[in-house]
């Protein structure tokens, strides 16, 4: 196992700090793209990471992916806590309204305009390498729901980016 992770799991503060320094930028980027309060979410994710770190086992998955999984589940929890489910259809694997994303040349802007569940799927799949099955498990939703969100998100992005290309 990565010696920094081993020492961090044992409570070595310097190793924990090293882990934050190493993995922090990528984690913060995820929080920034998926919440409107990234500082708060970032802190909460690290709390969860260090609570769970003694149970981390190497199963072929790098620590960065393990941390991203914790972040994903936490961000889903945050989103659910802060929402009345009806505001964004949760079980939206049926055809729904087209998501309207303002035309833009900027991918970050177009992503920001997506509903949060759709943004999570497209970022975790394409940017963080999660399989759609993993995303479905982490979100406690059907695989079909995840696929539907991915396709609707990509359709909205392609429309927004293509319109000004």
Partner 1 sequence: MTLHEALSRLLDGDLDPVAADALRTRIATEPDVARAWATMSGLPARIAGLSAFDSQSGAPPVGALPGRVLATSSSPQVSSARRPAFRYVPAVAVALAAGFALFVIVPKPTPQIVLGAGTSEVSGDVDVLVGDATIHVSGESSITVEPSPDHLRDARSEVQMDKSYLLAAFVGATLSLTVQAGTAVIQSPGKEPVTVTAGQTHREGPARPLTAAPGADPGADAAHIADLEQQLTGLKLQHAMEVAQLNSVNGTPQDFPADLPAGYKPAEFEKNIRDAIKGNPDVDVLSVNCDEYPCIAILRSSYAGDDWGQKLTDLGTSIRDKDYGENAGIHEDTELLRGPDGDVRVMAFATEPPVHQDENVEIRRSSRVKGLLDGIGDAEP
Contacts of partner 1 in 55-74 (CB under 8 A): 69-70, 73-74
Pick the binder of partner 1 from 3, 21, 54, 62 (CB under 8 A): 21
- In the complex, the smallest distance separating the C-beta of residue 87 from partner 1, rounded to whole angstroms, is 9
Task: Quote helix, strand, coil % in the chain, to nearest 5.
Answer: 70, 0, 30
Considering the rule CB under 8 A, would residue 35 count as an interface residue with partner 1? Answer: no
Cα dihedral sign, 69-73-78-83: positive
Pick the binder of partner 1 from 47, 65, 106, 131 (CB under 8 A): 47
The answer for residues whose C-beta is within 8 angstroms of residue 97's C-beta and 6 or more apart is: none
Considering the rule CB under 8 A, would residue 48 count as an interface residue with partner 1? Answer: yes
Q: How far apart are CA 70 and CA 27, in angstroms?
A: 10
Under DSSP, the state recorded for 99 is P
| CB contact at 8 A, 144 and 138 | no
Footprint on this chain of partner 1 (rule: CB under 8 A): 11, 13, 16-17, 20-21, 24-29, 32, 37, 39-40, 42-43, 46-52, 69-70, 73-74, 77, 80-86, 90, 95, 98, 107-108, 111, 122-123, 126-127, 137, 140-142, 147, 150-152, 154-159, 161-162, 165
């Amino acid at each position: 196992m990565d010696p920094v992770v081993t020492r961090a799991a044992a409570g070595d503060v310097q190793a924990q700090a090293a882990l934050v320094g190493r993995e922090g930028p990528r984690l913060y980027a995820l929080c920034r793209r998926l919440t409107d309060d990234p500082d708060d979410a970032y802190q909460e994710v690290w709390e969860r990471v260090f609570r769970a770190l003694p149970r981390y086992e190497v199963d072929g998955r790098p620590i960065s992916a393990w941390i991203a999984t914790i972040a994903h589940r936490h961000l889903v929890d945050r989103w659910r806590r802060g929402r009345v489910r009806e505001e964004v259809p949760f079980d939206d694997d049926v055809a729904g309204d087209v998501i309207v994303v303002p035309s833009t040349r900027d991918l970050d802007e177009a992503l920001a305009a997506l509903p949060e569940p759709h943004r999570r799927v497209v970022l975790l799949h394409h940017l963080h390498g999660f399989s759609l099955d993993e995303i479905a498990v982490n979100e406690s939703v059907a695989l079909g729901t995840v696929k539907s969100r991915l396709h609707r998100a990509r359709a909205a992005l392609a429309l927004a980016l293509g319109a000004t290309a």
